[in-house]
Amino acid sequence: MQRALEEPHCTISVGSPTLVELLTDCDSFRKEEDSSSVARSDDPAHSIIDVEALHVKPVRFVLAFSNLEYNVTFRRWFDFSRPRSSDTVKTLLDDVSGEACDGNILAVLGASGAGKSTLIDALAGRVAKESLKGSVTLNGENVLESQLLKVISAYVMQDDLLFPMLTVKETLMFASEFRLPRSFPKSKKMERVQALIDQLGLRNAADTVIGDEGHRGVSGGERRRVSIGIDIIHDPIVLFLDEPTSGLDSSNAFMVVQVLKRIAQSGSIVVMSIHQPSTRIIDLLDRLIILSRGKNVFSGSPASLPNFFSNLGHTIPEKENITEFALDVVRKLEGSTEGTRELVEFNEKWQQSNLGLSQSARPTPHGLSLKEAIIESVSRGKLVSGSSSGATYLTSMETVSSYTNPSLFETFILAKRYMRNWIRMPELLGTRIAIVMVTAFLLATVYWKLDNTPRGAQERLTFFAFVVPTTFYLCLDNVPVFIQERYIFLRETTRNAYRTSSYVISHSLVSLPQLIAPSLVFSTITFWTVGLRGGLEGFVFYCLIIYASFWSGSSVVTFISGLVPHIMLSYMVTIAYVAYCLLLSGFYVVRDRIPSYWIWFHYISPIKYPYEAVLINEFDDPSRCFVKGVQVFEGTLLGGVSDMKKVELLETLSRSLSTRITQSTCLRTGSDLLSQQGITQLSKWDCLWITLASGLFFRILFYFALLFGSKNKRT
């Protein structure tokens, strides 16, 4: 076998300028014919930026991974055999090794299902450690299980997850607020955002909203570039990208990889998956890994790819895209009887004879440990500003590995972003208020001016039994809200952009003012038209308890949507839970009649307390009578007899009881109705505070659901 040209594992530039220093000369990299700004290496297929004139001290990072294996088990439901005969194990990564250095771009190629995204996730720490075999080190130190990797790296997901009603500039500005220190001047943050906008080719779309299915916004390619810009705003040391050129045309894709090259040359490690790169993009890549069904079938520079396949017996024709040819060969071998076994074995021999692949990270040229390398890199502007002046540098590992901003500042920025996105969608608030108004008018017309007869009292009970659970069901529009935001939350918290507690607090605070208008509209329409008692004081309390019910219902729905991250399942669970709470709230079955084994559910039902509160507000008046004289016969077999007969029956009853009962005698007051319903333990104010507290309780549960249920890792 012909011996291939030997090459180093990582090509390191003489100098490593910061990102802003590279961004100041935007056109130099784009104009390849300009010999003063771009120098050709000895390899005609590979070009690098000539940054020697900048004379910046280099910082060396080596991300090494060896013998990575990752298997997933697919289990069939209702198979209880041991071991399960229906379990199937699929290998997503099979003994994959390689390394990437600062200043270089490592691209992972392969057909769909080859394991590209899985490898990126494994390197980024998004695979559970008990499921992943092998080692991943940075400068020889294991960083997968430390908080440090979250701070010094960034991960760009394949999907574009953005707030639809924010503009491009606002989206990137909020990202800078999260990822850059609070002490960093806002003017400098704006400069950083503007530099990214220019480099991502978004200048003409800077003031355009992102948009979604219902709102016209930026194009798909522009949306993708915004997603990348969010995660590179803080100039990370390690950058992982899952198919960053997906959905872009050739020109836009090339421009994106140009930006990634600049990031790499500023002292970062860039690892990305990519699908069939163009020839121009290949010239920007430093190393390739080609996967086939989880196995490494090639690892080396793009320049060595023709020689590799020539030795294998597949000569790449001239003017042929070398990666497309390579992937075509891999696909043909995958469809053969032997599969890619021969290619895997040949790659192993190639690595051993020509590349001398190391099993662990190599020491840095200056002998810097990971801690020293990070401190040195931060002192040059990485992770903060990318500039050499005007920044407050991080000088200790303790500072580097913490959140960028204090919790209160995170809460403020999150609330500001949410409110700005929300107020630009007035149709959401308008629709909610419209539904509330329709519901209120329906109830007003059905329960118009109820009287104080026994039937009127019963209708009041049914009115309240409908009102309280309706406030919970009207909060179901919150189900898709968080589920749509969930992946944005996962992306941002995975890299320590902000704390989970800050998100929950801000989410709770911004929901409070949104409930004021629906509560006032509903209360105003129903209180006076139905004829509820209490005057102004009763109306104020009625507004408060309706507001508390909306708050509690919103918290319940938010918690369930955080616990069950699937829209349809979340709807089903929420509807079922509210129905169970209604059943045991005390209306259908009074407290004294609830079985002892279900009484606990009665007391934890969030519907019980607002229901009791509105009943107490309405009926807690001993002087108010609902059954007088012959009205006692209504609803019985004697209800159909004539009034004269009822009077005679009433006199007979008086003589039997030795008590004078006339047609004006009050036989049942509001307090009697409350006792009959089993509402004797709490005051209406107690019920109001408990309802508000239940909303807070479900928000706390929402926090724990996010904290422990949103790991965003493969298992």
83 found inside a domain = no
As a whole number, mean pLDDT of residues 30-43 equals 39
Q: Residue 648 and residue 629: Cα distance in Å, rounded?
A: 11
Single out the residue of 225, 182, 644, 84 nearest to residue 404, CA to CA.
Answer: 182
Shared domain check, 230 and 362:
yes
Helix (H) or strand (E) holding 88: strand 88-101
Q: What value does the mean pLDDT take over residues 319-346?
A: 84
Helix, strand, coil fractions of the chain, as percent rounded to 5: 55, 10, 35
Range of the domain at 319: 19-75+89-369
Whether 483 contacts 570, CB under 8 Å? yes
CA distance 266 to 268: 6
Q: Would residue 351 count as lying in a domain?
A: yes
Average pLDDT value for the chain: 80
Q: Are residues 525 and 641 in the same domain?
A: no
Average pLDDT over residues 414-429: 89
Query: Which one of 22-36, 55-69, 396-410, 416-430 scores highest in mean pLDDT?
Result: 416-430
553 vs 201, residue with greater confidence = 553
Task: Using the predicted structure, report yes or no on whether residue 3 has a pLDDT greater than 60.
Answer: no
Q: Which amino acid is at 15?
A: G
Instruction: Give the per-residue pLDDT at 469.
Output: 93
By mean pLDDT, which of 284-298, 337-351, 494-508, 569-583 is the weakest? 337-351
* Same domain for 533 and 488: yes
Query: Does 397 or 661 have the greater pLDDT score?
Result: 661
**Span 560-578, average pLDDT:** 91
Lowest mean pLDDT among 97-106, 393-402, 574-583: 393-402
The answer on 641 and 615 residing in a single domain is no
Q: Are 577 and 444 in a shared domain?
A: yes
Task: Classify residue 208: in a domain, yes or no.
Answer: yes
The pLDDT tens digits of the residues spanning 643-691 come to 677 777 777 777 777 777 777 777 788 888 888 888 888 899 999 999 9
Pick from 369, 393, 421: which residue ends a domain?
Answer: 369
pLDDT of residue 145: 67
435 with 445, same domain? yes
Q: 119-128, 138-147, 403-412, 554-563: which has the minimum mean pLDDT?
A: 138-147
- Residue 308 contacts residue 300 (beta carbons within 8 Å): yes
As a whole number, mean pLDDT of residues 292-297 equals 88
Beta bridge partners of 138: 63, 141
Is 604 in the same domain as 650? no
Is there a single domain that holds both residue 191 and residue 154? yes
- Residue 495 to residue 383: CA distance in whole angstroms: 12
The count of other CB atoms within 10 Å of the CB of residue 499 is: 18
Q: Give the pLDDT score at 417.
A: 93
Taking the C-alpha atoms of residue 299 and residue 278, their distance in angstroms, rounded to an integer, is 19
In the numeric block, which tokens belong to residue 692?
């508000």
In a domain, residue 395? The reply is no
pLDDT of residue 359: 41
pLDDT tens, residue by residue, 232-274: 888 788 999 988 888 778 887 888 888 788 888 888 899 999 9
Cα–Cα distance for residue pair 609/538, rounded to 1 Å? 17
Determine the average pLDDT of the residues in 165-193: 88
Q: 147 and 286 share a domain? A: yes
Q: Are residues 305 and 298 in contact, defined by beta-carbon separation less than 8 angstroms?
A: yes
What is the number of structural domains in the chain?
3
User: Is 387 domain-assigned?
Assistant: no
In the chain, % of residues over pLDDT 90 = 29
Vertex 524: Cα angle to 522 and 526 (nearest 5): 65
Confidence of residue 505 (pLDDT cuts 50, 70, 90): very high
Whether residue 461 lies inside any domain: the answer is yes
634 and 616 fall within a common domain? no
Helix 186-199 and helix 250-265, axial crossing angle in degrees, nearest 10: 130
Q: Return the minimum-mean-pLDDT range out of 2-11, 319-328, 442-451.
A: 2-11
Q: Strand runs (DSSP E) across 285-362, as ranges?
A: 287-292, 295-300
pLDDT band (50, 70, 90) for residue 341: confident
Residue 577 pLDDT more than 90?
A: yes
Is the distance from CB of 212 to CB of 164 less than 8 angstroms? yes
Predicted local distance difference test score (pLDDT) of residue 569: 92
Q: How far apart are CA 259 and CA 677, in angstroms?
A: 70
For the chain, give the longest Cα–Cα distance.
Answer: 122
Q: Which residues of 500-522 are buried (b: 16+ CB within 10 A; e: fewer)?
A: bebbbbbbbebbeebbeebbebb
Q: Once rounded to an integer, what is the mean pLDDT over residues 169-187?
A: 87
Q: Rounded to whole angstroms, how far apart are CA atoms 557 and 476?
A: 6
pLDDT for 629: 67
Highest mean pLDDT among 253-262, 435-444, 563-572, 624-633: 435-444
Inform me whether the pLDDT recorded for 230 exceeds 80.
yes
| CATH code, domain with 360 | 3.40.50.300
Provide the 10 A C-beta neighbour count for residue 558: 25
Q: Which secondary-structure segment (H or E) carries 95?
A: strand 88-101
Residue 374 within any structural domain of the chain = no
**Which residue in the block uniquely carries the two structure tokens 């479900």?**
698
Cα 413 to chain centroid, rounded: 16
Residue 208 burial (CB < 10 Å; 0-12/13-18/19+)? middle
Instruction: Evaluate if residue 40 carries a pLDDT over 70.
Output: no
Dihedral angle at the C-alpha atoms of 246, 65, 67, 130, nearest 10 degrees?
-90
User: pLDDT digit string (tens) for 454-478?
Assistant: 888 889 999 999 999 999 999 988 8
Q: Which of 369, 389, 419 is the last residue of a domain?
A: 369
Is the omega angle on the peptide bond into residue 622 within 30 degrees of 0, that is, cis? no
Q: How far apart are CA 565 and CA 687, in angstroms?
A: 31
Q: Is the pLDDT of residue 383 over 60?
A: yes
- Residue 13: inside a domain, yes or no? no
Kindly tell me the sign of the dihedral angle through the C-alpha atoms of 12, 326, 157, 228: positive
8 A C-beta contact, residue 519 and residue 429: no
The CA radius of gyration of the chain, in Å to the nearest whole number, is: 34
d(CA 326, CA 284): 18
Q: What is the pLDDT of residue 701?
A: 95
CA–CA dist 15, 54 (Å, integer) = 7
Positions of E strands within 102-161: 105-110, 132-138, 141-142, 153-156
Cβ burial of 88 (10 Å; 0-12, 13-18, 19+) is exposed
Q: What is the rounded distance in angstroms from the CA atom of residue 17 to the CA atom of residue 508? A: 43
Spatial distance between the Cα atoms of 585 and 684, rounded to a whole number of angstroms: 15
User: Which H, E and C letters describe 554-603, residue by residue?
Assistant: HHHHHHHHHHCCCHHHHHHHHHHHHHHHHHCCCCCCCHHHCCHHHHHHHH
Q: Which residues contact 709 (CB under 8 A, 6 or more apart)?
A: 562, 563
Q: Which residues pair with 109 in a beta bridge?
A: 290
* CB contact at 8 A, 254 and 230: no
DSSP state of 86: T
Distances in Å between the Cα of 366 and the Cα atoms of 58, 137, 263, 377 are 9, 18, 22, 13
The per-residue pLDDT for 339 is 75
- Please answer whether residues 623 and 452 qualify as being in contact, where contact means their C-beta atoms are separated by less than 8 angstroms: no
Count of CB atoms situated within 10 Å of the CB of 604: 11
Q: pLDDT tier at 24 (50, 70, 90 boundaries)?
A: very low
Is 323:29 a contact under the CB 8 Å cutoff? no
Same domain, 645 and 508: no
Higher pLDDT, 204 or 45: 204
Q: Whole-prediction pTM value?
A: 0.79
pLDDT, residue 509, reads 94
**Is residue 699 predicted with pLDDT exceeding 90?**
yes
Same domain membership, residue 164 and residue 69:
yes
Report the alpha-carbon distance of residue 715 to residue 712 in Å, rounded.
Answer: 9
Closest CA to 273 of 492, 94, 62, 123: 123
**pLDDT tens, residue by residue, 514-553:** 999 999 999 999 999 998 988 899 999 999 999 999 999 9
Contact between residue 560 and residue 580 where contact means Cβ atoms under 8 Å apart: no
Question: Which pair of tokens denotes residue 614?
Answer: 């509105």
pLDDT at 484: 81
Q: Which of 369, 399, 417 is the last residue of a domain?
A: 369
Q: What is the pLDDT of residue 578?
A: 93
